[in-house]
């Protein structure tokens, strides 16, 4: 994309400066109510952060089925993915992802991600998006309200409630939806039932999904390392959301929630067939069988309109959440040995399980001191999590039938870190101080977090690490924030502020344990790891009227003490082994500009009734402050632009996605033996068009259709492309699907 395309997008975002009245009832995007940014219900126009909201109606229009679909038109938010087997793996906000972004469902953090080696990758993709009524994203450090893991921001999933369906006196609701996705031949079916009376109400939502591998635009098939087509894959998953609400009065509600999902994926990893140059073995079969599940039960209570000096409203919830990841791998090989060929079958099992129990309580109090209004929010979060990880396996010699648990460098079973109990306890306080009848709002906040790690050394860990000394960890962090919103007039406002973020040292980095005598190295714990921290500044300008809305913001964030896992630190003089250890070594700087806006064109000419335009763009730069190298997680300049037409029973939208060439990559390897260093692949810029349409052809019945990549362009999206050589013959592996279609049909009674 040429820079002029960004100029066009920004012009569309900021073109309207007059408060032209739109027809009555026209939507005002910045009037949407959000909770995540301040832990209080506030319109976006009163929030001192850059916040994105995607509601249920928008998800249905865009035929959202996974997190990649969810953020397709949100520049600055990237969904990472890997080729081969494990697929979508993280959400990156402004270049920061993984466990450095807090992802939560109804305020409760989803389980951690963890990966080791080629056969193990537990991701955080645990939420069935069909159970959601909206998604809120807060960009930038948010530890002052959410503690550790909110270093890069917060993605908040909010599930449906019975009250979302039982309005205007309705006592019952039933809805069903079916859908199809062409990119992976996926099928979806779901149903929702809600009931309600004077005091009791409830909801049950169930869904099932299945499909095959997501296509790309590779052309080389067959088996072996030259393959660029996606590996054959089949998946199926299901979820259930159940809620029961008891309201003894208009002032209070008790809520019991059950939220569970599971997914199964089978992969024939054809790209790993053939000769393996590192081992000399020839793989004749490589299969993956992956299972992931999560179950959460929550009991909560909300009280409003209290007559208390301490609080006007209070809510609390207790919860338990269990997640399990099991990944089984089978590798059948031929290994040359002493003039003969040994046939063996290698079976590997990877387990990563977490159980969390916790309590959250929040209170709010509003009062005045003279002409100044205060809205105090405060609360506590307490959570205890047990994390277990294990790798197991066996080697079967097919010619003799001998079975052994020795699969060098491992003697199974092994743990790469001990069973770990982590306790997080925190207290936060925030005051929204309004001056001049709310024209200027100052928002100071502070949070104190105490983090404790208690490892448990069992037989499995000790047998694999006989001399490793594990360590406890206890750390307290203070995260301040100061934000502001200044309404300059009826339509304009300034916003911004300072925020500090932190991430406590992860259990697997503190107490990693792994020794490989065959290759001469060992990984040792580091009890002296410090928390990763960030200091961020943001300044933005918003415009909102009945005719248009726009936001333009700039940010600058410095990150200190990033943890580099298993870094080489020297040679053990006694054993002669190379020693690796996780250490605080990296400092980074990320800065950027983001813009978002839209216009309702009927406010300018009655003939344009029903027409609207929306656009967004993000530009960012990120460097390692120590080396000056560019951060590979930073996206190139990208933007989106959509033109929509809406009528009472039908509508359509043409949406474009644009990106510049990815040219900020690490310095190529130095030349050796007179040969130049290998340059890295710079994925080219692109412009992709998608077309959506919807039709309500009967009351309560809606058909949604989407055609993606209309021109069938070959596209490499930044989040899916690793750092590879420019001359790589397999770079087409990382291409997005070509032209494809999705459709859904929903019926509501």
Burial of 290 (0-12, 13-18, 19+ CB in 10 A): buried
Instruction: Please state the separation of Cα 510 from the chain's center in Å.
Output: 24
Q: What is the pLDDT of residue 213?
A: 96
Q: What is the pLDDT of residue 26?
A: 40
CA separation for the pair 244, 297 (Å, rounded): 12
CA separation for the pair 216, 84 (Å, rounded): 12
Q: What is the pLDDT of residue 694?
A: 97
Residues in the chain: 749
Q: What are phi and psi of 436, to 5 degrees?
A: 50, 55
CA separation for the pair 478, 604 (Å, rounded): 50
Q: Quick one: tokens of 133? A: 């009524």
Q: Which of 592, 109, 350, 195 is nearest to 101 (CA)?
A: 109
Q: What is the pLDDT of residue 675?
A: 57
pLDDT (tens digit per residue) in 230-282: 999 999 999 999 999 999 998 999 999 999 999 999 999 999 999 988 788 99
* Residue 453, SS3 per DSSP: strand
Q: Quick one: tokens of 461? A: 């860990």
Q: What is the pLDDT of residue 107?
A: 95
- E-state strands within 609-649: 611-624, 638-646
pLDDT (tens digit per residue) in 123-143: 998 899 999 999 999 999 999
User: Diameter of the chain by CA atoms?
Assistant: 92
What are the extents of the domains in the chain? 3-748
CA separation for the pair 657, 659 (Å, rounded): 7
| Weakly modelled stretches of the chain, pLDDT under 70 | 1-28, 518, 669-677
Q: Quick one: tokens of 493? A: 């406002």
Q: What is the pLDDT of residue 403?
A: 96
Burial of 647 (0-12, 13-18, 19+ CB in 10 A): exposed
Which H, E and C letters describe 561-604, residue by residue? EEEEEEEEEEECCCCCCEEEEEEEEEEEEEEEEEEEEEEEHHHC
- CATH fold, domain 3-748, is Maltoporin; Chain A (2.40.170)
Q: Residue 38 has what DSSP assignment?
A: T
Which H, E and C letters describe 500-569, residue by residue? EEEECCCHHHHCCCEEECCCCEEEECCCCCCCEEEEEEEEEEEEECCCEEEEEEEEEEEEEEEEEEEEEE
Q: What is the pLDDT of residue 38?
A: 86
Q: What is the pLDDT of residue 144?
A: 92
C-alpha separations of 619 from 76, 432, 525 in Å: 8, 31, 38
Please tell me the pTM assigned to this model. Answer: 0.92
């Amino acid at each position: 994309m040429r820079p002029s395309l960004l100029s066009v997008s920004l012009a569309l975002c900021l073109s309207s400066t007059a408060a032209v009245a739109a027809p009555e009832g026209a939507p005002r995007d910045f009037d949407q109510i959000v909770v995540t940014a301040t832990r209080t219900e506030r319109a976006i126009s009163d929030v001192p952060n850059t916040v994105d909201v995607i509601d249920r109606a928008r998800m249905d229009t865009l035929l959202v089925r996974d997190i990649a679909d969810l953020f397709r038109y949100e520049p600055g938010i990237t969904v990472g993915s890997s080729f081969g087997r494990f697929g979508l793996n993280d959400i990156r906000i402004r270049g920061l992802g993984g466990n450095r972004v807090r992802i939560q469902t109804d305020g409760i953090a989803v389980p951690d991600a963890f990966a080791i080696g080629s056969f193990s990758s537990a991701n955080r993709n645990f939420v069935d998006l069909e159970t959601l009524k909206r998604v809120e994203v807060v960009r930038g450090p948010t530890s002052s309200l959410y503690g550790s893991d909110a270093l890069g921001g917060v993605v908040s999933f909010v599930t449906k409630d019975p009250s979302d369906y039982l309005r205007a006196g309705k006592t019952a609701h039933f809805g069903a939806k079916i859908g199809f996705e062409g990119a992976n031949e996926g099928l979806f079916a779901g149903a929702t039932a809600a009931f309600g009376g004077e005091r009791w109400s409830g909801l049950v939502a169930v869904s099932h999904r299945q499909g095959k591998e997501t296509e790309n635009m590779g052309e080389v098939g067959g088996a072996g390392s030259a393959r660029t087509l996606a590996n054959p894959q089949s998946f199926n998953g299901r979820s259930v959301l159940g809620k029961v609400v008891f309201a003894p009065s208009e002032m209070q509600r008790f809520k019991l929630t059950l939220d569970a999902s599971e997914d199964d994926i089978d992969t024939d990893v054809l790209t790993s067939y053939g000769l393996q140059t590192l081992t000399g073995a020839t793989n004749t079969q490589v299969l993956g069988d992956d299972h992931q599940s999560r179950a959460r039960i929550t009991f909560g209570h909300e009280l409003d309109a209290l007559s208390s000096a301490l609080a006007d409203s209070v809510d609390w919830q207790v919860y338990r959440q269990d997640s399990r990841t099991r990944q089984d791998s089978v590798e059948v090989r031929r290994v040359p040995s002493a003039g003969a060929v040994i046939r063996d079958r290698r079976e590997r099992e990877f387990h990563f399980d977490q159980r969390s129990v916790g309590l959250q309580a929040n209170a709010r109090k509003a009062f005045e001191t003279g002409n100044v209004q205060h809205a105090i929010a405060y609360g506590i979060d307490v959570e205890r999590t047990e994390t277990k990880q294990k790798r197991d396996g066996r080697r079967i010699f097919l010619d003799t039938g001998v079975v052994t648990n020795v699969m060098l460098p491992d003697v199974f079973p092994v743990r790469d870190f001990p069973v770990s109990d982590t306790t997080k306890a925190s207290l936060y306080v925030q005051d929204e101080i309004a001056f001049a009848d709310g024209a200027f709002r100052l928002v100071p906040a502070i949070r104190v977090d105490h983090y404790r790690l208690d490892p448990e050394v069992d037989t499995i860990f000790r047998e694999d690490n006989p001399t490793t000394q594990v360590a406890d960890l206890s750390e307290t962090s203070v995260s301040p924030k100061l934000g502001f919103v200044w309404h300059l007039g009826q339509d304009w406002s300034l916003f911004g502020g300072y925020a500090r973020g932190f991430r406590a040292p992860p259990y697997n980095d503190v107490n990693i344990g792994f020794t490989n005598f065959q290759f001469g190295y060992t990984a040792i714990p580091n009890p002296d790891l410090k928390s990763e921290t960030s200091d961020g500044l943001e300044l933005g300008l918003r415009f909102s009227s009945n005719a248009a809305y726009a936001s333009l913001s700039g940010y600058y964030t410095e990150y200190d003490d990033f943890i580099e896992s298993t870094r080489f630190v020297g040679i053990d003089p006694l054993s002669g082994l190379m020693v690796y250890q996780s250490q605080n070594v990296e400092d980074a700087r990320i800065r950027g500009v983001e813009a978002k806006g839209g216009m309702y064109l009927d406010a300018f000419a009655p003939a344009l009734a029903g027409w609207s335009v929306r656009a967004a763009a993000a530009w960012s730069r990120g460097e390692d402050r120590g080396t000056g190298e560019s951060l590979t997680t930073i996206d190139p300049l990208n933007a989106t632009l959509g033109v929509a037409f809406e009528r009472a029973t039908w509508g359509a939208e043409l949406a474009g996605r644009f990106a510049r060439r990815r040219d900020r990559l690490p310095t190529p390897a130095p030349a050796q033996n007179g040969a130049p260093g290998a340059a890295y692949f710079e994925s080219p810029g692109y412009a992709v068009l998608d077309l959506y349409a919807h039709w309500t052809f009967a009351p309560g019945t809606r058909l949604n259709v989407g055609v993606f990549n209309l021109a069938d362009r070959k596209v490499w999206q930044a989040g899916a492309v690793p750092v590879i050589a420019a001359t790589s013959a397999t770079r087409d592996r990382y291409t997005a699907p070509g032209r494809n279609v999705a459709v859904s049909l929903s019926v509501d009674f």
